[in-house]
Structure 1
Amino acid sequence: MTVIDENKLTAAGSPGGTDFGGDRKCWLDLRGLGEWRQAVGEEALHQGFDAIVAADPADLAPLPPSVTRVLVPEELPDDFGVADLVLVDPRRHGMPSVLAERHPGVRFGSRHDVRDPDDLAAACESVRRDPVVLLHFLDPTNIPMEIVLAAADGAEGTIITRVDGVDDAAVHLSVLEHGPGGVMLAGAAPGEATRLAQVVRDRSPDLELVTLTVTGVRHAGTGERACVDTCTYLRQDEGILVGSRSRGMVLCVSETHPLPYMPTRPFRVNAGAIMSYTLADHEHTRYLSELAAGGTVLAVGADGRTRRVTVGRVKIETRPLLSIDAVAPTGERVNLIVQDDWHVRVLGPGATVHNSTSLRPGDEVLGYLPGRERHVGYPIDELCYEQ
């Protein structure tokens, strides 16, 4: 399959396959920007947007060839100018494949405003047929988008959806887990193109986990511990990183492994004492006591892969506590305080599951060494002793 090389269309005229899980596209719609057109357009170019959309070929002429110049005309012009791609309404202008035959050298895709079942049916046909489809969903529901994305499964085209703000983009990109191949920002103000680029291109990078050697396990009296209940089915080799000190954490596994007396709770991690650190994302720490419904915590797999998941609830209860000491190959000392019970588990190399109460000196567990001190969750280089 022929794809866009970064920003430009290739000779085959297809700007990428159904890019679910790949690099998703940032488009900017110049139409309707008014006084902000030049400022937002320059901002989008600076942020490396993949495409700029206009209704008049003259508005595309000043754009550099490093960006895909997309024409969305009301009526088909005699001259398409420098447009790399022309998006048409098939019911008004004709099929993109037929137009491509009539206009050699011009690449065509389709566009649809989806406001009723007939529009939805036409959009579903287009995403199975056309190389690029731009969709605008007019009703405040994601159901039509879900239907179109399902209809496009296995197709080779790219779906772009119009959004009126950055918050809408975050929602679109998560519909049916994968979302469309990209989003087009309409009605933008200065600063929004930058925010959109951050949302669309945001990735949760892998972490380099290390093998820690347990040096001691002891009862630690009574205190409050936090169970972190997420809005996600966590995997059997997945949990969250928890530690008493910001420079070293242990991978506490989700409650996905069966034990007698109680059912599994695959959304939960029985994480540790409330003062413990965890990662809200790959850069910022939070105390377990600070996590709350609607926030995020970083889920981490035994192979280091990560994903941000939404916190649904944090259960803080008084329980007996267990203190686990470990040491990293670098000599960094790590401590973890958890509930003193066998159903609290940590992961070892190869995703081996350890009941915390069964740990003994010499056992190996997985951990992470952030390597910097923390101040209100932010990494900082300063003198800090944690004991």
Structure 2
Amino acid sequence: MKLCWLDVRNLDGARGAIIEEAVHQRIDGILADDTSAFEMLPPTVKRILFTGTRPLPEDLSGVDIVIADPAVHGQTAVLAAAHPEVEFGRFVEIIDAETLEQACSAARTERWSLLEFRDPTKIPLEIVIAAAAGSTGSIVTIAKDIEEAEIIFGVLEHGSDGVLLAPAAVGDPTSLKAAAQDRAGTLELVELEVTGVTHVGMGERACVDTCTYFREDEGILVGSHSKGMILCVSETHPLPYMPTRPFRVNAGAIMSYTLSAGDRTNYLSELVAGGKVLAVDVKGQTRLVTVGRVKIESRPLLSVDAIAPNGTWVNLILQDDWHVRVLGPGGVVLNSTELAPGDKVLGYLPVEDRHVGYPITEFCREQ
């Protein structure tokens, strides 16, 4: 799980409300330049002291982490020896090659590295993350807003271990936590048994073209109902009459559900360029990928019914064509037009019903 720190040093009237929201959202740490900001924090929230250019107080009781600037406060090893009850980290502002090397050194050796990059490019952060590979410390990068935080969390597919954000308003702690949680996770896939395949005539289907190369055992989950989906494979596998399109999933009819960020469902027809969709492999490992475009065209359609071991009925309507495929156990690629009762396909069974795409516990019947 990525770390979320909030910088409350420059908050005035809204400080109390934002700290209350941060606690409610289980933000990992509050960073301040005086210990008074920590008085009402529960033990679940790290108390992080960073005094900037001012000296450190002699009394560090009630502080969990101190971020030190070596030019102002001295070396972290010396500070840690004097205050063994506190964890120490190093602040580095990256403005040139020399300070970039300092950041790389800190990331390799320090328990905590708080990094501020003055230039908008993320290449220096990529270099630091690569330099820190295998180290046991944590890199926390300062973000100017939620949009930059989302980018920082995903740099080099690993991202910074955490983000420090100075919230501009109430709601920012919630948004930061959501950005941190929208990372890859794992879904529990199940084997579904096909019970019937029916030609249902013409309709609009959606091809989802992403900005990412899919792996051969990877696709997106699609289903006619929110409580059951089938894993549709990308066009990474050879076709007899056309080149492969490893960025594409010929997904299903436009009203079908798929998964996106934050366990939310979207209709295929809602996906747009720049949006997100959840890529899933046969082991249930997931990653968010960016949608490049969605192609909606009229095609003959095929309805596939399947049943889960717990009796849940699952339906998928997709294009009636041989090159449209789904995944079976072990990554077996199955052509949609050759599916027959008794075949096994991989699927996912969300527990909650949906309201405007969000999971909710309520009565809802889909048929």
TM-score between both structures, scaled by the size of structure 2: 0.87
Q: Which moved more, 1:349-358 or 1:324-333?
A: 324-333
Aligned match of 1:200: 180
Give 5+ residue unaligned stretches, structure 1: 1-22
Distance 1:262 1:248, change over 3 A: same
Secondary structure of 2:155's counterpart equals coil
1:61-83 CA-to-partner distances (Å, cap 9, x unmatched) read 66555433222222334514323
Equivalent in 5, 12, 19 of residue 41 of structure 1: 19
Give 5+ residue unaligned stretches, structure 2: none
1:227 Cα deviation from its structure 2 partner: 1.1
CA distance in structure 2 between the partners assigned to 1:326 and 1:107 by the alignment: 54
Aligned Cα RMSD in Å?
2.8
Q: What is the aligned residue count?
A: 364
Distance 1:52 1:215, change over 3 A: closer
Task: Note the 1:250-289 alignment, pairs <5 A.
Answer: 250-281=230-261, 283-289=263-269
1:237 Cα deviation from its structure 2 partner: 2.0
Aligned match of 2:7: 29
Paired amino acid for 1:258: P
Max radius of gyration: which structure? 1
Task: Say whether the 8 Å CA contact 2:202–2:301 is kept in structure 1.
Answer: yes
Distance 1:375 1:43, change over 3 A: closer
1:137 Cα deviation from its structure 2 partner: 1.5
CA distance in structure 1 between the partners assigned to 2:134 and 2:113 by the alignment: 15
1:132 Cα deviation from its structure 2 partner: 1.0
**2:42 corresponds to 1:76:** no
Distance 1:245 1:157, change over 3 A: closer
CA distance in structure 2 between the partners assigned to 1:134 and 1:367 by the alignment: 42
CA distance in structure 1 between the partners assigned to 2:86 and 2:186 by the alignment: 41
Paired amino acid for 1:71: L
Equivalent in 125, 136, 140 of residue 105 of structure 2: 125
Equivalent in 166, 182, 204 of residue 186 of structure 1: 166
1:207-229 CA-to-partner distances (Å, cap 9, x unmatched) read 44333332333444333322111
Q: Which moved more, 1:142-151 or 1:81-90?
A: 81-90
1:245-298 CA-to-partner distances (Å, cap 9, x unmatched) read 444332211112223333322221111222333333574433322221122222
Equivalent in 129, 149, 172 of residue 149 of structure 1: 129
CA distance in structure 1 between the partners assigned to 2:240 and 2:149 by the alignment: 44
Task: Note the 1:1-387 alignment, pairs <5 A.
Answer: 23-60=1-38, 63=41, 65-73=43-51, 74-77=53-56, 79-82=58-61, 83-101=63-81, 105-202=85-182, 206-281=186-261, 283-370=263-350, 374=354, 376-378=356-358, 381-382=362-363, 384=365, 386=367
Task: Say whether the 8 Å CA contact 1:134–1:162 is kept in structure 2.
Answer: yes
Distance 1:151 1:221, change over 3 A: same
Task: Say whether the 8 Å CA contact 1:205–1:282 is kept in structure 2.
Answer: no
CA distance in structure 1 between the partners assigned to 2:139 and 2:190 by the alignment: 40
1:316 Cα deviation from its structure 2 partner: 1.9
CA distance in structure 2 between the partners assigned to 1:317 and 1:215 by the alignment: 27
Secondary structure of 2:13's counterpart equals helix
1:355 Cα deviation from its structure 2 partner: 1.2
Secondary structure of 1:360's counterpart equals coil
Task: Say whether the 8 Å CA contact 2:322–2:337 is kept in structure 1.
Answer: yes
1:203 Cα deviation from its structure 2 partner: 5.4
